[in-house]
Structures are given as structure tokens and as C-alpha cells.
A and B are shown apart, each in its own frame.
Chain A
Amino acid sequence: AQTVTQSQPEMSVQEAETVTLSCTYDTSESDYYLFWYKQPPSRQMILVIRQEAYKQQNATENRFSVNFQKAAKSFSLKISDSQLGDAAMYFCALGIYGNKLVFGAGTILRVKS
């Protein structure tokens, strides 16, 4: 069975500063994908970033980057230069070939001005 754990129910960051959201996962598969989704108050699920497990290089999308530690089964999201629009619920998700996405419980990110 696959599991995803987000141990931080809530995080706060000052505008323009950097914050890291944690995610650990467990799977016996060797080939899988990891995702971070953002859910703003509108409830829409928005893909932030994705990482293929076979790639050692950490994915980056503008101010968003990940720290992927395959051996430790860790997949944290770093948000640099935080903006008010980054305030949302963030979900870490694990995708297995031919199978469903398994989501963590989510982390609420609050951005202070």
C-alpha cells in the first residue's frame, strides 16, 4: 500500500520570505511520480510541480522548487519570495503507474503581509 504523510497541518510565512512544506511517502514501487497541488479558497486543484522518481535532479517551477530525497522517501516543497497569492492548502500526492493518486492530508499555508 502507498501512503503520503504531511506532518505540518499549518504553516505561516512572512511575505517575501521562504517557506518549506514537508512530505514523506511510502511505496514499494521503483517507478513513480510525485506532485504538489495547490488548493486556494476557490477549491480548484492546481498543479504546482511534479517530479519523476527516476530523475535525480530536483524539479523547479519559477519560485517553487522541490527537495527530492528518494532514499529517505521525502519530497518537500520550497516556496521562495512568498506572495499573498500563495496562501492556500497544499497537497502532496504520489502517483503510481496504472494506479490512482494518493494524497496527503494537506498543509494550510498562511502568508502574512
Chain B
Amino acid sequence: EAQVTQNPRYLITVTGKKLTVTCSQNMNHEYMSWYRQDPGLGLRQIYYSMNVEVTDKGDVPEGYKVSRKEKRNFPLILESPSPNQTSLYFCASRDNSFVVTEAFFGQGTRLTVV
């Protein structure tokens, strides 16, 4: 089954404790991205990757890191989480970086930073 898998689905952590949210897709998609969803703001892009070893900032990259060492995986790293990073996070993948195709989303990760 074609899917994007995020883990964990729920996470509560303390300020400053490094964490990683994993994302993996099994569709051989080139384009992967991370979004955060906040009430009244919709989904905003954090980082994206157009292919292996190619990543770039989205609209709200501060406080986040990503890496794309393999085509299928695109982890999101919070080196020193803060309460303003409490949000719902989505990983998404698309078939091709240069054609606007349907985006497939993971199940979401609800992160709470206390």
C-alpha cells in the first residue's frame, strides 16, 4: 500500500530536549516536505527536499533541521524544542519536483513542548 509513515503520532517533551520525528514514504517520490498546522494559520511549510541531499527552507524553518540521505526518508529534527513549536506536524511527499502532482500526507504528529 502506498503510504507516508510518520512516527511518533503523539509526543510530549520538555523544553530543550532534542527530538526527531521520522518520515518514510514507499512510493519512490522525489519531493518531500514538512508542514506545521496551527489554528487559524492552516499548514505552513517548514522545509522541503527536491531529491536526495537537496533540502531548502520553507516559510517557517527557524528551530528545525532536516536531512535527506535516502530517497524514502526525511526526518525532522528539533535540536532544542521550545513551547512555540507545539503544533501538529505533517510530512508529505509528491511524485515529481517539477510537476505539481497530488501530495500524499502522513498521519500527523501532535507535538507538545512543555
Q: Contact flags (1/0) for A83-106 with B, using CB distance below 8 Å?
A: 000000001010111101101111
Find out whether the CB atom of B99 lies under 8 angstroms from the CB atom of A45: no
In the complex, B24 has a CB within 8 A of chain A: no
Q: Report the interface size for chain B: residues with CB under 8 A from the other chain.
A: 25
Let me know if A50 is at the binding interface, CB within 8 A.
yes
Chain A interface residue count, Cβ-Cβ cutoff 8 angstroms: 24
Chain B residues with CB under 8 Å of chain A are 33, 35, 40-45, 48, 50, 58-59, 88, 90, 92, 97-100, 102-103, 105, 107-108, 110
8 A-B pairs with least C-beta separation: A45-B105, A95-B100, A103-B42, A103-B43, A43-B108, A33-B100, A105-B42, A100-B45
Residues of A within 8 A of B (CB): 4, 6, 9, 32-33, 35, 42-45, 47, 50, 91, 93, 95-98, 100-101, 103-106
